[in-house]
A and B are shown apart, each in its own frame.
Chain A
Amino acid sequence: MLTAAIVAILVTMVLALIRAFLGPTEYDRMLAANAFGTKTVLLIALAGHALSWHSFLDVALLYAMVNFIGTIAVMRFFEYGNTRDNEGSGSTP
């Protein structure tokens, strides 16, 4: 069943890639990239266990963090045109 789950994750990654290529807006592409990143984390965790790699979970954890920070950074860039602090730019969650 672990193999089946890994195949399902791979299929989803392909679907996300199709959306990333189709677009049509840059936000769609970023959404697809974010979904792809989450799937990568799951893939590393599951495949690492299946193949009993050493310390794969650290890689997965780090990838989850990088994926999140990357999404936020790119979105800030889209929103303000730069990644520097903007005063009075509305509320942050």
Chain B
Amino acid sequence: MHYLRILLFLAAFWWFLSGYLLALILALGTLSVLLVTWFVHRMDRVEGGYQRLRVGLGLFRYLGWLMWQVVLSNIALVRCIWDPALPIRPVWKRLDTRVATPFEKALYANSITLTPGTLTTDVKDDHFMIHCLDPAGLQELKGGEMEQRIRSLGI
């Protein structure tokens, strides 16, 4: 059933991007929509199959907060790059995590990586490996504000 939804969504998306009404183009579009639906079907066998992400207002509020964090850490990193002494003290450490569901994990790991200055190098069941340009970044992650916000989303 959800393949039908994907099919309709892809068709609408294709129509939005193309907007042509020629027979050949329409045929190619139909072909590509069917092909992508088949790809989705194939990929559903990976990692426990089809799961639905609940998109709510909380997620968008979190993304807004994340963008603000990205801006703040970018400013710190830009200052560091233009400093003639290049004051970086890289660390590569384990970060214990309490996020449980696959969505929470993916969101947390991606949020860490998206923020400049911190980089997730490995994702395990109960911990991540984090590379930081400065120990302060790791301390901030250990403070757990980001994790708390993600856990409170309930996805």
Interface residues of A (CB under 8 A from B): 58, 90-93
Contact = CB atoms under 8 A, between A and B. Distances in A.
Chain B's interface size range is 10 to 19
A58 B106 CA distance: 29
B123 A93 contact: yes
B123 A91 contact: yes
B15 to A, nearest CB: 14
B123 A58 contact: no
B47 A93 contact: no
Contacts, number: 11
Q: A interface, by DSSP: helix, strand, loop or mixed?
A: loop
11 contacts: A58-B17, A90-B122, A91-B123, A91-B124, A92-B46, A92-B47, A93-B106, A93-B109, A93-B110, A93-B120, A93-B123
Q: B interface, by DSSP: helix, strand, loop or mixed?
A: helix
A34 B59 CA distance: 28
B31 to A, nearest CB: 17
A31 to B, nearest CB: 12
A91 B122 CA distance: 8
A56 to B, nearest CB: 14
Nearest to B102: A91
Contacts of A58: 17
